[in-house]
Amino acid sequence: MFVTMAVDHLLTSFILLLICNTGFSAEISVFVKTGDSVQLDIQTQELPEFDLLSWRNDKSVIIVRYIHESREVKLHSSYKDRVDFNDETFSLTLKNMQKTDTGFYTARTSGESENNIVTYRVSVIDAVDAPVLTVNSHWSSSDSCTVNFTCRAHDLMINSSYQNNRCSPEEVTSQINTLILDCSEESIICNHSNTVSWKIDRINITQLCGGFSAEISVFVKTGDSVQLDIQTQELPEFDLLSWTNDKSESIVRYISGTKEVKHHSSYKDRVYFNDETFSLTLKNMQKTDTGLYTARTRGESEKNIVTYRVSVIGES
């Protein structure tokens, strides 16, 4: 145990000596998009006393030299129009970065000793290409919708399916690029990204699936009333809005231009239609009223807005 402690002590002493003599500093990784600028800070407010502070790259080019006594700043000829040096914070800003600028950048002070203050590993990366979302096939009916599609970018690809308001989120990665697939009730979204940029492609599900709308289950006691709301504040432009049941009966029809409301003869005394919210209230519900009720608009296209599966339960 004593020998182990002695070896550990010697190793620690060696590392401290190495740091003191070489001015060792840890690397900080930075990613920058091709054509953009990057600011490199010295990461400390307590610099050792120095005569000269410099920023250099790993090609032995001294990009900037700052002479402490005269406060003179000298730039390397190949960087004159591409850098800004702050003589108060000692930060270096590199402009219009290109892939050939990828590498190490080190701030170093020279005085009684040489000290590396900070080293950056700078990686210059191109912005990602826009992904492409392709529909391979789709099928829809009044109560279901399936879309088969491919999300593709660079050398990455995801094949998936959207079924009845959902798909499985997926993610694939290749080196620094990531392709992410996600879905909402309105859209399929394909996101291509890396550490410096991201781009998306999106497909509107409502356009593909046409009249499809998910079902909402509602239970109502025999003899009671039930209110069916349209569940959205953003209706498409329409000429006619109707509530229909699964017996192909148009319970109520609302004509947008004249604001006229027309009731089916068998429902006249059993329904209330709100011509502002477009909700439908069905009264004195019986077990024979169990079924599907759909709000639908007709204009440039026909769209199912919402479908309710109403179950009437209890004694009749």
3-state per-residue secondary structure call for 174-211:
ECCEEEEEEECCCEEEEEEECCCCEEEEEEEHHHHHCC
Q: What is the pLDDT of residue 231?
A: 78
Last residue of a domain, one of 166, 191, 209: 209
Same domain for 188 and 264, yes or no, is no
Same domain for 87 and 20, yes or no, is yes
Q: What is the pTM of this model?
A: 0.57
Same domain for 172 and 263, yes or no, is no
Structure letter (DSSP) for residue 6 = H
Rounded CA gap, 294 and 292, in Å? 7
Same domain for 23 and 48, yes or no, is yes
Same domain for 221 and 303, yes or no, is yes
Last residue of a domain, one of 125, 150, 175: 125
Same domain for 157 and 42, yes or no, is no
Q: What is the pLDDT of residue 8?
A: 41
Same domain for 137 and 105, yes or no, is no
Sequential pLDDT tens for the chain (316 residues): 433 333 343 333 333 333 333 344 579 999 999 999 999 999 988 898 999 999 999 998 999 999 999 999 999 999 988 999 999 999 999 999 999 999 999 999 999 899 999 999 999 999 999 999 998 887 766 567 788 999 999 889 999 998 877 788 899 999 899 999 998 877 899 999 999 999 999 888 766 776 555 578 899 999 999 999 987 777 888 999 999 998 889 999 999 999 999 999 888 889 999 999 999 999 999 999 999 999 989 887 778 888 888 999 976 5
Greatest alpha-carbon pair distance for the chain in Å reads 101
- Is 276:259 a contact under the CB 8 Å cutoff? no
Last residue of a domain, one of 209, 239, 272: 209
CA-wise closest residue to 91 among 105, 102, 81, 111: 105
- Is 66:73 a contact under the CB 8 Å cutoff? yes
Residue 213's SS3 state is coil
Q: What is the pLDDT of residue 204?
A: 80
Same domain for 91 and 201, yes or no, is no
What is the span of the domain harbouring residue 55? 2-125
Q: What is the pLDDT of residue 84?
A: 96
120: domain CATH number is: 2.60.40.10
Same domain for 8 and 84, yes or no, is yes
How many secondary structure helices (H) and strands (E) does the chain include?
A: 2, 25
- Is 92:144 a contact under the CB 8 Å cutoff? no
Q: What is the pLDDT of residue 143?
A: 62
CB atoms within 10 A of CB 10: 10
Structure letter (DSSP) for residue 78 = G
Same domain for 168 and 239, yes or no, is no
Total number of domains constituting the chain: 3
Q: What is the pLDDT of residue 234?
A: 76
Helix (H), strand (E) at residue 121: strand 114-125
Same domain for 42 and 147, yes or no, is no
Q: What is the pLDDT of residue 16?
A: 34
Same domain for 161 and 225, yes or no, is no
